[in-house]
Amino acid sequence: MTKYKEYLANSVMDFLVLIFSQEFISDTTIFRGHSNKEWELIPEIGRSNMFNLLEGYEDWKTFEEDIFERFAKYAIPYLNKEPKNEIEWAVIGRHHGLPTRLLDWTKNPLKGLYFAVEDTTYNNDSAVWVLDDSGCRKGIKNFEIVDKYPGSGFDVYFPDQIDNRLIVQEGCFTIHAFPKKNIPLVPIEKCKGITELIKIIIPFSKKKEIKFDLDKLGVNRRTLFPDLDGLAKYICWEFSLLMNSTSIL
């Protein structure tokens, strides 16, 4: 099992000091926030609730193709520009909740922190994963390239700016290789050869305070989701603060 270091951050300042004290932090570092520190670094298509569906398919690839075919059949009328390849289809689908082999990351540490503390209703600690992707291939054009080397576990994909959310969230993805047989995907933290990976724990008791401080820094639901849904949820959160509610939307 891959070893990774764990740290604790009780504030935005703690988090930033910790981030910039790490020698491997550079332009190649990416971040992912988890509402629950126990969650693994695995894309939705590979999680247990989806893995059970794999029994009805020949392999992972045919399972994925069925999902994409169903999505593309009805999605085109809603798109300004039709995706050029299966990875672009996966990017669009992922941003609208489709289970894919993509796992969302951001190049901005504060935005990664926001996604870790956004939901304050769970009574558990959250976490920000920090990964140095300098050892990963970046010029990924199709999934076959990733699946050719399933032992490597994943590669990193920096997509074209085809979605407004992707732009403002400074998003990128890890693309996970499918095993040759119908066996579970391997979480990143358990992949062989991963050395530059850390996990920063955010205590549950500090989530609301950190979320409030991030808002003052311009990192919030309204700025990260530039649409009416994002605006509405941000306003609901503002009113929950005024009412001193324990429920933050």
pTM above 0.85? yes
Q: What phi and psi values does residue 132 have, to the nearest 5 degrees?
A: -90, 115
What is the count of structural domains for the chain?
Answer: 1
pLDDT of res. 179: 83
Residue 214 lies in a domain: no
- pLDDT category at 201 given cuts 50, 70, 90 is very high
* pLDDT, tens digit, 9 for 90 and up, residues 148-192: 655 557 888 888 766 777 888 899 999 888 887 788 888 999 887
* pLDDT at position 55 over 80: yes
Residue 51 lies in a domain: yes
Residue 102 lies in a domain: yes
Tell me the pLDDT of the chain averaged across its residues: 86
* pLDDT, tens digit, 9 for 90 and up, residues 81-125: 888 888 888 988 998 899 999 999 999 999 999 999 999 888 899
Residue 77 lies in a domain: yes
pLDDT of res. 247: 46
Residue 219 lies in a domain: no
Residue 222 lies in a domain: no
Residue 119 lies in a domain: yes
Q: Which residues of 146-173 are buried (b: 16+ CB within 10 A; e: fewer)?
A: bbeebeebbbbbebeebbeebeebbbbb
- pLDDT category at 225 given cuts 50, 70, 90 is confident
pLDDT of res. 244: 66
**Which domain, by its residues, includes 198?**
5-205
Residue 241 lies in a domain: no
